[in-house]
Chains A and B, each alone.
Chain A
Amino acid sequence: MSRAVTLASSLSWVAFLVTLPLWMNDLYFLHVLIITGIFIVAAMSLNLLLGYTGQLSLGHVAFFGIGAYVSSLVSLGFEIHVWGETTVSLEPKPVWLAMLVAVMFAGLCGFMIGKISFKVRGAYFVIVSVSFAEVTRLVALNWLELTQGPMALNNIPYLKLGIPGVGQIDFIGKLPNYYLVLGVAILTYVIIRRLVRSRAGRAMIALRENEPLATSVGIDVTRFLVLATVVSAGLAGLAGAVYAHYVRIVDPDVFLFIYTVTMVIMVVTGGKGTLAGPIVGGLIFGILPEVLRGFEVMPEIQWVVYGVLMILIVYFLPEGIVPALRDAWRRWAGRSGTPPARPTVVVEAQP
């Protein structure tokens, strides 16, 4: 019965989001929703690492930016000099292929970062990821021949998809992109949900809870951490690719650290390690800047507010909004069979 309730509520949410543009016909609001949706995808991918494996990727924007740059470059084509007279060039490719390449390239970067930094853990992964993001920004800024540096990549083509029976859809403008982002977000949600509820997902949660114990029962810790990093990086790359073909201009500022912070705040506020957490947090911090802008708040003050909020949430709502609401709901509803939204793990002992 509870499964039916969950399914019904998911379907009504999707129906609400699908019909939203029909009765909320405001282009600016639609734009805010698109950007928020892209950030929610990125935050969901970060949650896979931060929430389910307990590894804080503080350079997550690097994968997002790599996705944006790779997808743009593959769809625009490029020619670079590698060594003396030797040049490497690429003819412009269709956008869907470019996005696929972007996802795979971001995943590959995640693989390498994971391989290097999961020899050690905790603080080291954080520091390696944050340095990696800084280096990608420097490369985007300095490799003028490839990235145009601060002049930015312009005129990035938009996505065209030929769907049998419907014909070709041009993803240009707000409405088609809204549905594209919605589709990508649902896809991401489903991928992450399937992953964390699989054997691999249970292994990740087990090693988040107690690594020595997880190792002792034969879980190959590094393998699962690297797997999570690859999936997470690939999804962040997908978000970046969607972003690039929506705004159609990409400059090195996509690598700014402040975007990583935004994603972290979204995940931590919503509730890390819950499927709904990044969505709730993403909606709050996607819409909040627009509300603050209404009051003509300076961006610096907005960031001070974000920083202070983050500290307050760690002190007073350490689990995030979604688990807190769930607990409150359970207390209110008694024990009438609400299943735990996140797989509980038998491992309780602390090292």
Chain B
Amino acid sequence: MDQFLQHALNAMILGGTYALLGIGLTLIFGIMRVVNFTHGELYAFGAYMMYMWVMLIGANFMVSIVLAIALGVALGAVIEIVLLRRLRGADIDTTMLVMIGAWIAMQNIEQLAWSGVAKSINSPFPSAPLVMGAISVSWTRLFVFAVAVVLIAATNVLIQRTRLGKAMRATFQDREAAALMGVRIDTVHTATFALGSGLAAAAGALLGPVFVVYPTIGDLASLKAFAIVILGGLGSIPGATIGGFILAFMEELGAGYISSGYRDAMGFLLIILILLFKPTGLFARKERIG
């Protein structure tokens, strides 16, 4: 039982960052109809920026997180403006090929810039874990969870309460009608991609100090984000949030009770189960053939 509680606690904490990843990807797909293969690279970018600020420049840990997220937002905006803007109206496969090309290029640039050696990032929190009865958790992980929850809440406020969020929701429902009502579609798309990228970079910046950073971490992050989004239904933010936690639980329990070698295979198992039993995802609002 104690072991189960420990796994559940780990899963809760991991789930927060997975939810960040999933929300970013689902926003981009829902609003822009782009299958974003660079998502994992933005995650890796966030982690490497964290490494750069904390370990190479020696900036404050909190400041570094903010800087890493801001740089992720900026990189996302650049990708959207340079690569995707001219493909507006192109079919989904065309944009997918461009994003795959960008993914390959970005990952290898990372490899060139940072070398293949794994990097670790020091955190300013005490290394002794917080012990609660039979279970324990490190302070860094608690902090990561808290920041993730704050960011999820902030994203929801942005989507539900602000003018930009309203424009995004309108574009999601009907792009043409939104454009006719005076919504600047270009701005909405750039903002969406930048926001989604910022969330991926945030996940990377938060998990970087927990694990280690190496150039291909983005691949698994992408796959996990896809699994989360399929689980929750493409375009659904609550779906992506809950999907993130479900995937984290499956991974933790699978690694704990089955085999740790297959931990990363859980996402695929999840995709298969969902496609077999509820192909529209748990929270899909629209039809999903696209």
Residues of the B chain whose Cβ atoms lie less than 8 Å from the Cβ of A117? 275
CA distance in complex: A311, B98 (Å): 5
Chain A binding site: helix, strand, loop or mixed by DSSP?
helix
Most buried by A among B94, B103, B265, B279: B265
B1-9, B187-195, B243-251, B256-264: which lies at the interface: B256-264
Chain A 298-339, CB-CB to B under 8 Å as 1, else 0, gives 101101101111110011001000000000000000000000
> Which range contains the number of A residues in contact with the other chain?
35 or more
Q: Is A18 an interface residue (CB 8 A)?
A: no
* CB neighbours of A119 from chain B (8 A): 275, 279
Chain B interface main SS type? helix
A121 to chain B, nearest CB (A): 5
Q: Is B35 an interface residue (CB 8 A)?
A: yes
**Residue A22 interfacial (CB < 8 Å):** no
Interface pick from B106-114, B130-138, B203-211: B106-114
Verify A301–B112 contact, CB threshold 8 A: yes
**Closest Cβ neighbor of B94 among chain A residues:** A314
Shortest distance in angstroms between A335's beta carbon and chain B's nearest beta carbon? 30
B225 and chain A: residue at smallest CB distance:
A127
Contact A116–B272 (Cβ < 8 Å): yes
B contact residues, total (Cβ < 8 Å): 44
Question: Out of A58, A141, A261, which one reaches B261, CB within 8 Å?
Answer: A141
Q: Check B267 for interface membership: any CB of A closer than 8 A.
A: yes
- Check A268 against B97 for contact (C-beta < 8 Å): yes
CA distance A38 to B103 in the complex (A): 25
Q: What are the residues of chain A within 8 A of B35 when measuring CB–CB?
A: 123, 126-127
9 nearest A-B pairs in the assembled complex, by CB-CB distance: A307-B105, A310-B101, A307-B104, A142-B261, A131-B268, A311-B101, A303-B108, A300-B108, A127-B226
Q: Which residues of A contact B (CB under 8 A)?
A: 54, 56, 58, 116-117, 119-124, 126-128, 130-132, 134-135, 138-139, 141-142, 257-258, 261, 264, 268, 298, 300-301, 303-304, 306-311, 314-315, 318
For this complex, 10 residue pairs linking A to B, each with C-beta atoms less than 8 Å apart, are A56-B97, A119-B275, A123-B290, A127-B226, A130-B223, A134-B265, A304-B108, A306-B101, A310-B101, A315-B98
List 4 extra interface pairs beyond A128-B271, A138-B261, A314-B101, CB under 8 A: A126-B96, A304-B104, A311-B98, A318-B94
B-to-A contact residues, CB < 8 Å: 29, 35, 83, 86, 92-94, 96-98, 100-109, 111-112, 219-220, 223, 226-227, 230, 234, 259, 261-262, 264-265, 267-268, 271-272, 275-276, 279, 288-290
